[in-house]
A and B are shown apart, each in its own frame.
Chain A
Amino acid sequence: MASRTFTASRLPGFATVAIVVFIALYMPIAMLMIYSFNAGDSIAIWDGFSFQWYERAWENEKVKEVTIRSLVIAGSAATISTVAATMAALATTRKKPFRGQTGIYVAINQPLMVPEIVTAVALLIFFAAIKVATGYQGLGYLILAHSAFCIPFAYLPIRARLEGMDLTLETAAADLYATPWWTFRRVTLPLLAPGIVAGMMLAFVTSLDDVVITLFVKSAGQDTLPTYLLAQIRRQVTGEVNAISTVLLALTVILLTTFFLLTRKRS
């Protein structure tokens, strides 16, 4: 029986358009990766295969320093935002709908909607006042700022998981005289774990890649990997930037793949 439903993939030229789009999306990244293995100094003339840029990046103290800083910030921000997001997700799905719930959704997902540059400028002015008043200029500001904009990225997968979970299990636990805490600890949390891990990874990657907010919030000596890369390409692009970008890309891909494996619907 011929299907009457509309299917985009049957439109004429669908395959051609798809291929063109994929090439446009991935060719530049592929080129970047290929030239990270260039033996020559140029990023436009191929001189043979080598790992020299990876070696140079590995030996570059500054690269090590900014990478560690990025990982510390992303790790802390992912942890804080995931804890907050888990609590928010439980409060918005395991309770009777209450007045103002839509308002709370909007508030939680605000970082997704407000343009990043607006948040960045606001944070710059706000944190600068605190920095002057307290004299504290540590990493705390970056961690706080990252935690805030990572919350929706952690929240969405956790909430999706909670909504898909069968409530009867929790009800059954309560019927068997488990305390609310015990029910949460032994039933809800284990079932929710894949969602939490997925949310945390998403938050981690989001924090790791951030440029705009970091640029405005960072104090003296607080370059992260992305802001370091940005400052490098201004004057002369070397294969080192390609090599670092490739590693960063690989890390992101690994984390995102894990995310998809964890959130994939079990058949």
Chain B
Amino acid sequence: MKKHLTAIAVLLGSAGMALAEGELQLFNWGDYTNPELIKKFEDETGIKVTITDYDSNDAALAKIEAGGHGFDLVVPSANYVQIYVEKGLVQELDLSKLSNHGNIAPQWMESSYDPGRKFSVPWQWGSTGVAVNKTAYSGDINTSAIFMDPPEELVGKVNVTPEMNDVLSLAIMYEGGEPCTEDTEILKKVRDALLEAKPKWQSMDYGMTEKMAANDVMASVYWNGAIFRARLQNPDVVYGYPKEGYPLWMDQVMLLSDANNTEEAYKFLDFIMVPENAALISSFARYANGITGSEAFMPEDMKDAPEINVPAEFAAAGHFLPTCSPKAQEYYTAIWTELQK
């Protein structure tokens, strides 16, 4: 028994020592960090990186707010960036320590939620659009009408992802409003249109990479990277950018206020802004990264992929979703609840 206790004590002790120098604690979404990227960083700097997974912005925020977590870097989505900043959970970056900061593409430098990128470094970004199997429908796919008013050929074959913010934003922009609007006229139109469209849908579900690839679903509201992977398996799948407006999302790395390994964290932030390394991030999770010059290092199949590189004509229709006011949130929830009945 004494031997066991010693073994446990050693184990506990070693886990407790995990805060030694030359270490970095990255708190990131699951299945999102390229092991090759980490290996390259470790080889170059000698810093040992430990990755811990989370599966939602809320879970990550709750743990970080509670304190005592031991993480150095976190990767929140765009609409959570302001929350982290306002609560004082993250540090303003010392740009003099980030020699590659200029590599951030101009369009991402001037983001609405972090102007000048003083708090965050881009990780990956993508869009929510509509995917269509072109054997089922050959008309214009760059419109939210695919699910708001499905054409004859797609009736009963459309899936809508059960993501409230994405779906309602698409619907509001389709009806001519702004995401997070409190204008009840527009919201009523949105609700009526959605309720009218719903009987023409097949399902409200996830897992479309597989289902679109297998021809089980002929059209879906979905994310670009997932549809890109579906198209690699099934060339009939195409991705449309709704011209009425579509949501953009970006996840970015932020340095926590109570980080234990600040110097190592700066090295990592600078490292991922090197185009070649940014391309490694993209080659794993299959989304674009926001670093100028990374295109040259992207995997062949991603270089010209229309799902990853937004065609110029549709670029202006992409919008970051703001954090909705409590009132707008209430309207959203009310419409969403009614839609799910």
- Chain A residues within CB distance 8 Å of chain B: 41-45, 61-62, 72, 76, 124-125, 127-132, 135-140, 215-216, 218-223, 227-228, 230-237
Structural contact, B69 and A236, CB atoms closer than 8 A = no
Chain B nearest CB, measured from A41 CB (Å)? 7
* Assembled-state Cα–Cα distance A235/B208 (Å): 11
> B285: CB under 8 A from chain A?
yes
Structural contact, B18 and A132, CB atoms closer than 8 A = no
Chain B nearest CB, measured from A236 CB (Å)? 6
- Chain B residues within CB distance 8 Å of chain A: 8, 11-16, 18-19, 25, 27, 29-32, 35, 50-55, 59, 62-63, 66-71, 207, 209-211, 213-214, 216, 226, 229, 233, 285
Structural contact, B68 and A129, CB atoms closer than 8 A = yes
Report the 5 A-B pairs with minimum CB-CB distance, sorted nearest first: A231-B30, A131-B68, A231-B53, A138-B15, A220-B70
- State the total of A-B contacts with C-beta under 8 angstroms: 116
Structural contact, B63 and A124, CB atoms closer than 8 A = yes
* Assembled-state Cα–Cα distance A222/B51 (Å): 9
Cβ–Cβ < 8 Å partners of B70 in chain A: 131, 137, 219-221
Structural contact, B233 and A220, CB atoms closer than 8 A = no
Structural contact, B210 and A138, CB atoms closer than 8 A = no
Structural contact, A234 and B30, CB atoms closer than 8 A = yes
Cβ–Cβ < 8 Å partners of B67 in chain A: 128-129, 131-132
Chain A nearest CB, measured from B236 CB (Å)? 14
Structural contact, B69 and A235, CB atoms closer than 8 A = no
Cβ–Cβ < 8 Å partners of A222 in chain B: 15, 52
* Assembled-state Cα–Cα distance A72/B9 (Å): 12
Structural contact, B211 and A235, CB atoms closer than 8 A = no
* Assembled-state Cα–Cα distance A139/B10 (Å): 11
Structural contact, B54 and A220, CB atoms closer than 8 A = no
Q: A131-B68, A220-B27, A220-B52 are in contact. List 19 more A-B contacts (CB 8 A).
A: A44-B211, A72-B11, A124-B63, A124-B66, A129-B68, A131-B70, A137-B16, A137-B19, A137-B70, A138-B18, A139-B11, A220-B25, A220-B70, A231-B30, A235-B30, A235-B32, A235-B226, A236-B226, A236-B229
Structural contact, B285 and A219, CB atoms closer than 8 A = no
Cβ–Cβ < 8 Å partners of A125 in chain B: 66
Known: A124-B63, A129-B68, A216-B63. A44 touches B53 (CB 8 A): no
Known: A124-B66, A234-B55. A139 touches B30 (CB 8 A): no
Structural contact, A130 and B213, CB atoms closer than 8 A = no
Cβ–Cβ < 8 Å partners of A215 in chain B: 59
Name A231's contact: one of B29, B210, B285 (CB within 8 Å): B29
Structural contact, B50 and A220, CB atoms closer than 8 A = yes
Known: A42-B213, A234-B55. A219 touches B69 (CB 8 A): yes
Cβ–Cβ < 8 Å partners of A130 in chain B: 68
Structural contact, B210 and A228, CB atoms closer than 8 A = no
* Assembled-state Cα–Cα distance A144/B52 (Å): 20
Cβ–Cβ < 8 Å partners of B285 in chain A: 235
A-B contact pairs, 29 of them (CB 8 A): A42-B210, A42-B213, A42-B233, A44-B214, A45-B214, A62-B35, A125-B66, A128-B66, A129-B68, A131-B69, A132-B68, A137-B18, A137-B69, A138-B12, A138-B13, A138-B15, A140-B15, A220-B70, A221-B50, A221-B70, A222-B52, A223-B53, A230-B55, A231-B30, A231-B31, A232-B53, A233-B30, A235-B285, A236-B209
Closest Cβ neighbor of A217 among chain B residues: B63
Chain B nearest CB, measured from A86 CB (Å)? 15
Cβ–Cβ < 8 Å partners of B27 in chain A: 220
Cβ–Cβ < 8 Å partners of A132 in chain B: 67-68
Chain B nearest CB, measured from A204 CB (Å)? 15
Cβ–Cβ < 8 Å partners of A236 in chain B: 31, 209, 226, 229
Name B68's contact: one of A45, A127, A216 (CB within 8 Å): A127
Chain A nearest CB, measured from B156 CB (Å)? 20
* Assembled-state Cα–Cα distance A61/B38 (Å): 13
Chain B nearest CB, measured from A77 CB (Å)? 11
Closest Cβ neighbor of B8 among chain A residues: A76
Structural contact, A136 and B50, CB atoms closer than 8 A = no
* Assembled-state Cα–Cα distance A228/B55 (Å): 9
* Assembled-state Cα–Cα distance A232/B32 (Å): 9
Chain A nearest CB, measured from B129 CB (Å)? 17
* Assembled-state Cα–Cα distance A232/B51 (Å): 13
* Assembled-state Cα–Cα distance A140/B285 (Å): 33
Cβ–Cβ < 8 Å partners of A216 in chain B: 62-63
Cβ–Cβ < 8 Å partners of B51 in chain A: 62, 221
* Assembled-state Cα–Cα distance A235/B285 (Å): 9
Structural contact, A140 and B19, CB atoms closer than 8 A = no
* Assembled-state Cα–Cα distance A140/B13 (Å): 9
Structural contact, B63 and A227, CB atoms closer than 8 A = no
Cβ–Cβ < 8 Å partners of A76 in chain B: 8
* Assembled-state Cα–Cα distance A233/B226 (Å): 13
Closest Cβ neighbor of B50 among chain A residues: A221
Cβ–Cβ < 8 Å partners of A221 in chain B: 18, 25, 50-52, 70
* Assembled-state Cα–Cα distance A72/B30 (Å): 22
Cβ–Cβ < 8 Å partners of B63 in chain A: 124, 216
Chain A nearest CB, measured from B249 CB (Å)? 13
